Structure 1
Amino acid sequence: MERILMKGNEIIGEAAIRSGCRLFFGYPITPSTEVVEYLSKHLPQQGGTVLQAEDEIAAISMCYGAAATGSRVMTASSSPGISLKQEGISYSAAAELPIVIVNVNRCGPGLGGLGPAQSDYFQSTKGGGHGDYRLIVLGPSNAQELYDFTMEAFDLADKYRNPVLILSDGFLGQTMEPIILKDRPKMPELDRSWTVGGCKGREKRIVASYSLTNEIGEMNNQRWEAKYKNIEEREQRWEAFYTEDAEYLLVSYGTTGRICKSTVLNARKKGIKLGLIRPITLWPFPNNAFLPLIDKIKGIVTVELNTGQMIEDVKLAVACKMPVHLYRRQGGMLPTEHEILDYLQDTFGELGEV
């Protein structure tokens, strides 16, 4: 294993190469551009191809075609670019194609700004395109997780034949941190009987999302629904931090998740029994993380870089059995540990001196 200092976006590119990705289609947009720049330099050296498409719509369509052949393929963009990809993402989910999508979230709406944000949570986890579909969504919070989760994304995409989205942000993508470049285990043997990578000597195969009749349409939707339920049951992931004796709970992911870790440690020094649930899979949302805590926790604060999106999933997870509040920053601004503790004090009052 090798330890190296790298920028977050470049880490994603390196992990993709080591995961066996050999095709990348994208269009540059700040703050994600270093992903395509890194791959443009290094992927051809591994026999791969990087193509800058004419726009984001073309890029996701190229991913659709490449994935249909069974190739490991990735695209990357930032918020407005991901919006342009939504129709193709919906098509890819319906065609059950394993594509890895990276969103280096910038603040919006519109062109917004280049700072970190979590305002794409709804778009990522609720199906940003049309129709009833889901993406598996991973929320890294540091450089090592950018590397590890990118590798995991390709495996999950192949395992479930479903697009997987890595929801990064402008802070993670632009920050340099040390990581360990782990060698991935041998790729598992996968069923490729569905691919269209050649037709000589086999029955005709079609990879498409269109349902010719309503009856077929309902059958397909029920099959996808069953797959998503299976993913929900098997792939919920989270980090529980000082939750064993916690009386109050922070819930946060990504960049704010790492800030909240420091907040918990500082609160503990002051005698405040504060814990943290950091969702790792944003979909499926880790509802199971809250089950053993519902009867112990006096209140929850979600910390988000938006006007309040993940808080809806948290309220559902605790079945509204305790108060759930929101502390937010927007427009590229990050909260400080002191701000979060002050908000806890103002909200719950009984924490003592902060």
Structure 2
Amino acid sequence: MSDQKTPSAGDPVDEPGSVDDVVGRANEGLAHAEAVRQDAVVEEDVVVVEETAVADPSASDAAAVPLEETVVVDSVETARPGDATSADTADDVPWYDRPESVPMDPIAEPAAETTVAAPAATPAAVPLTAPLAEPSYVSSPQPIFVQAPEAPRPQGNRGAAGAIGLLATLAFAVLYLAATLCFRFLTEDLAVSEFGAATLEAQATWAFWVPVVVFFLGFWLLGAAINRGRWGHWVIWGLLVGLVAYGGHLLGALFQAPFWELTARQGAELLEAELFAPLAIVAFVLGRELTIWFGAWVAARGRRVTELNEQAQREYERTLEAGPQLARA
């Protein structure tokens, strides 16, 4: 700084200069205020850089490396009002030709640039904590439960044998009634006009209904045993139905007597008389023949049921071989 003398009481007071000097001093005051404002801005523009240095893990000293700080302050070189060069220039150059200058506060000293040197070698920074990896979820395939197809149940033919047996029994009843009326017409001199009354009278006797019911039971039991068998079974085993019908005729004669009013001798004589009776032979023949012909119908229906069962079984086996299938909408 240039040396300036402080005026004392005995020194002479300088008279105010010209108008140019007044204007120049006013400009200097404005410039001084602007410089103060810029100094405040400069102080706010100080940049402080902080870096964290981590010591080498292999080093014996486990202490952390101190932080490095670098402070840089930009200095502004300005001409002070008391400087001799600037004072001479202000006196010699008119105010309108003078260059703009930024005066500094005479009290505030310009800050020098301060730098803290960094260490010669700084190890690479290692993050204290590593980011956690997001857990990965692997979705396992869910089992799909598929209901296994049920094995087809084989269809039977017993119900059809019973239904066809009813038709065979109806035919047996009609033919057996007709044979009964014919034998009465031949043996008892039954008039034609009395056939209606004789028919109703025969239908109200045990001798008519017992053979009919026994024939139906024999036919249905044979059909249940043969089931879906061939017609040959009906031809062979139809003999049993004929014998059952023959026994029904004998049983009907006992019920007609009635047997609970007969003695053992009378019952034996009645059975001996009916063993070779014409109606007993007719019951045997009708039971045998009707079983054969209606049995052919039952056998044909059983053959059809057998084909349906085999077809269902093949379809079931194909379904098992193909495995479960997912239905797509």
Task: Pick the TM interval, shorter chain.
Answer: under 0.3
Which structure has the highest helix share of the two?
Answer: 2
The structure where strand makes up a greater share of residues is: 1
State which structure, 1 or 2, has the greater radius of gyration over its C-alpha atoms.
2
- For normalisation by structure 1, the TM-score amounts to 0.19
